[in-house]
Structure 1
Amino acid sequence: MYQWVKRIFSASEPARDAPGQVQASQPAPAVAVSAAPVGSAAQLSFEQRDGVNGSYFNWLFDNADVTGLDTTPHENQVLDALTAILASQQSGAALVRRLPGLLPQLLQSLRSDNFSGAQLSRTISNDVVLVAAVIRMANTSFKGSGTTISSVEHAVMLIGQEGLRHLLTSVAFRPIIDLNSGQYTRLLAPRIWDQSERCAVANRMLAEDMGIDPFEAFLAGLVQNVGLIVTLRIMDQMSRDDKELGSEMFCARLVRDARILTCSIGREWNFPESVVTAIGEQAGMRKGVTVSPLGRLLTQSDYLSKVRLLVDNERLDKDDPVLFKGLSPRAMACYRELDAIADDAVAPPAAAPAP
């Protein structure tokens, strides 16, 4: 899947060889860091990241009643089911919906430098989700100008090729939220996707400072939680309509194994090894272990996006200096811009309820 998307995004670039397959149940190995790039990711302390992650999962599960270091029997059932998927020969990618048929046509049109805004507008108009996304993105860009964009063709010309490429990639990987699904998918999936989109934007904004390909950085942030969203279905199937999930130990193991599942899916989709490695490094991050440049960037952007969400939802104090310790002026500028992503981001499309 990645090669298909990458070829369309970069018609002039030669296609890469697909990375070799490795055992899906093992996290991607850490790689040695190359010579220091122009910029560098923040040196966030373990305490900083752990505190923010704890607050994030408390907000995510919206369940302050589940406490303690031990997992509950119900949590163990979910974790065992996820472990069984990782150990099986089941295709991880088969658990994720396929790209909508309209997107290949749109992305193909964007290969040309002389793309037709009118033709793209007609194609986009066939998909209500894309119409909403394009118009919202255009209006966000011109917020405060007193001008309201209501025409799809006008919006397409304002956004331009690069903006459309990243927007369509987000839509391509955005999960369908089934309104008839269980409580965990309904509650958690939109929140997880919101954080993924903000993380992807932060990655893209900071990538060039670290000598990292902006599109690969964007992709890593966007898809890092695909395995976690897939796991919500397991949680729904085992749910007893009560809030028994969300303990600290459960969240730690859940995120670790869900990221391993994401790596498996990424390899099946032939994502570049740098993206898969960066995601896998988040699953097994330990003190003193070298991390790839993209892995360091992903750690920082994941942190920034979570802090932004938690501050916006009044779960963290925006004036707490500990939250921003070690962040560069560039990272702080990125953090402030993430405030606007909420207005620009499109909620995951919902599947029509069954009649």
Structure 2
Amino acid sequence: MYRWLQRLFSGPARAEPSDAPSPALPAAAPSAPVAAPLIRPAVPFDQLDQAGRLYYRWLFDTDSETDLDINAQESGALAALTAIIDSQQSGAALVRRMPGMIPQLLQSLRSDSFSGARLSRTISNDVVLVAAVIRLANSSLAGSGTSISSVEHAVMLIGQEGLRHLITSVAFRPIIDLNSGHFTRTLAPRIWDHSERCAVANRALAESMGIDPFEAFLAGLVQNVGLIVSLRIMDQATKGDKGLGSEMFCAQLVNNARQLTCSIGREWHFPDNVTKAIAEQAGMKKDAIVSPLGRLLTLTDYLGKVRMLVENDRAWPNDPALFGGLPPFAADAYRSLQPIDDAAAR
């Protein structure tokens, strides 16, 4: 799966190199691969902890600071999740993804002869893609007084680069069943919104930090896949009981969900840099050392949570306890974490 997604961002296929002989060059001794340097996280530990507690109180709608200890329902949900992690069951099999038309769209996007009509016919076969393409196109026309209802018109307006971004996101977006359990139905859309924002911010900042933009985008997009799978497990374990969300439960849930994400990522053959960066977020400690991609992911994950708290009146936009102690590029990261529709309209 990763291989064709990587090709999605590589642009049109290039011609094979010529068979003409090249000038002889002195043979160079093969060099060992250089490991990425390890550095400190971009956010102080105490701030990470505070933002995490505020975010999960908002996510689970538990305002009380007295809900600290794990209750019986939470123990059962965590036990079910642990059983999945410890078993041989496929974590990837628990993730709902788009059907197999994505590779067909990929091939069209890599073609030197970009055909809006052909792409439109392919996209029109899937109602989820139709809605996503129309929504993105109309968001770019916000305030103009006009709107688009034709898929072909939308495809031409968005262009190849916009479609690459959109289709990659849709390929991994869990299709949330409105008839599913309480936690999946109410929490999954918020979690996926956070993931998409982090992916966009990661990709915007990656190149200036010497990080592969595609790997950065992928890390932000899939970092919460395990958490979304965990919501389905919680729905099954609690059978409709909504009494989850204590501080200790959320801490263990997030840690286990990161492990599940890494397991799924390895099964999908994601690059080591991506799974490593996600793993570094689990159980972050004060003396943690992370990779460059892990540092970027720590920052965008943190600021993504803070921005969503601010937008939902759960945090102040200039709170020094949340915005102090951050690196200079944090301001650019925060701006990049705007709602996806707003970003598309720029």
| TM-score over 0.5 (shorter chain) | yes
Report which of the two structures shows the higher radius of gyration computed on alpha carbons.
Answer: 2
Q: Compared with structure 1, are the counterparts of its residues 304 and 81 closer, same or farther at alpha carbon in structure 2 (3 Å cutoff)?
A: same
1:102 aligns with 2:105: no
* Of 34, 37, 40, the match for 2:37: 34
Structure 2 match to 1:229: 228
Deviating above 6 A after TM superposition, structure 1's stretches of 4 or more consecutive aligned residues are none
Structure 2 match to 1:7: 7
Does the Cα contact within 8 Å between 1:121 and 1:152 map onto a contact in 2? Answer: yes
Q: For residue 155 of structure 2, what is the amino acid of its counterpart?
A: V
Give the C-alpha shift of residue 280 in structure 1.
0.5
Give the C-alpha shift of residue 123 in structure 1.
1.6
1:89 aligns with 2:88: yes
Does the Cα contact within 8 Å between 1:33 and 1:291 map onto a contact in 2? Answer: no
Does the Cα contact within 8 Å between 1:311 and 1:317 map onto a contact in 2? Answer: yes
Q: For residue 70 of structure 2, what is the amino acid of its counterpart?
A: T
Does the Cα contact within 8 Å between 1:44 and 1:325 map onto a contact in 2? Answer: no
Q: Compared with structure 1, are the counterparts of its residues 162 and 233 closer, same or farther at alpha carbon in structure 2 (3 Å cutoff)?
A: same
Q: Compared with structure 1, are the counterparts of its residues 73 and 42 closer, same or farther at alpha carbon in structure 2 (3 Å cutoff)?
A: closer
Q: For residue 251 of structure 1, what is the amino acid of its counterpart?
A: C
Q: Tell me how far apart the structure 1 counterparts of residues 56 and 291 of structure 2 sit (CA, whole Å).
A: 26
Q: Tell me how far apart the structure 1 counterparts of residues 307 and 164 of structure 2 sit (CA, whole Å).
A: 25
1:152 aligns with 2:155: no
Structure 2 match to 1:190: 189
Give the C-alpha shift of residue 32 in structure 1.
6.5
Deviations 1:5-40 (A, max 9, x none): 223443659xxxxxxxxxxxxxxxxx975299xxxx
Does the Cα contact within 8 Å between 2:41 and 2:290 map onto a contact in 1? Answer: no
Structure 1 match to 2:17: none
> Which sections of structure 1, spanning at least 5 residues, go unmatched?
14-30, 346-355
Give the alignment of 1:276-315 within 5 angstroms.
276-315=275-314
Q: Tell me how far apart the structure 2 counterparts of residues 264 and 303 of structure 1 sit (CA, whole Å).
A: 23
Deviations 1:299-335 (A, max 9, x none): 0010121111111111111132332223455432332
Find the residue that maps to 1:110 and give its secondary structure.
helix
Does the Cα contact within 8 Å between 2:194 and 2:305 map onto a contact in 1? Answer: yes
Q: Tell me how far apart the structure 2 counterparts of residues 49 and 157 of structure 1 sit (CA, whole Å).
A: 42
> Which sections of structure 2, spanning at least 5 residues, go unmatched?
15-33
Q: Compared with structure 1, are the counterparts of its residues 75 and 307 closer, same or farther at alpha carbon in structure 2 (3 Å cutoff)?
A: same
Deviations 1:155-174 (A, max 9, x none): 22222212111110111111
Q: Tell me how far apart the structure 1 counterparts of residues 138 and 330 of structure 2 sit (CA, whole Å).
A: 25
Does the Cα contact within 8 Å between 2:224 and 2:258 map onto a contact in 1? Answer: yes
State the TM-score, normalizing by the size of structure 1.
0.84
Does the Cα contact within 8 Å between 1:32 and 1:291 map onto a contact in 2? Answer: no
Give the C-alpha shift of residue 54 in structure 1.
0.8
Structure 2 match to 1:326: 325
Structure 1 match to 2:59: 60
Give the C-alpha shift of residue 145 in structure 1.
4.3
Identity of aligned residues (%): 69
> Which deviates more from structure 2 when the two are superposed, residues 229-238 or residues 256-265?
229-238
Q: Compared with structure 1, are the counterparts of its residues 185 and 325 closer, same or farther at alpha carbon in structure 2 (3 Å cutoff)?
A: same
Q: Tell me how far apart the structure 1 counterparts of residues 67 and 219 of structure 2 sit (CA, whole Å).
A: 32
1:201 aligns with 2:230: no
Q: For residue 34 of structure 1, what is the amino acid of its counterpart?
A: P
Give the C-alpha shift of residue 240 in structure 1.
4.5
Q: Compared with structure 1, are the counterparts of its residues 298 and 6 closer, same or farther at alpha carbon in structure 2 (3 Å cutoff)?
A: same
Structure 2 match to 1:263: 262
Q: For residue 71 of structure 1, what is the amino acid of its counterpart?
A: I
Q: Compared with structure 1, are the counterparts of its residues 242 and 65 closer, same or farther at alpha carbon in structure 2 (3 Å cutoff)?
A: farther
Structure 1 match to 2:179: 180
> Which deviates more from structure 2 when the two are superposed, residues 92-101 or residues 75-84?
92-101
Does the Cα contact within 8 Å between 2:67 and 2:247 map onto a contact in 1? Answer: yes
Structure 1 match to 2:170: 171
Structure 2 match to 1:138: 137
Give the C-alpha shift of residue 124 in structure 1.
1.4
RMSD value, Cα: 2.4
State the TM-score, normalizing by the size of structure 2.
0.86
Give the C-alpha shift of residue 278 in structure 1.
0.4
Deviations 1:64-108 (A, max 9, x none): 358443211211111111111111111111111243122221112
Find the residue that maps to 1:241 and give its secondary structure.
coil
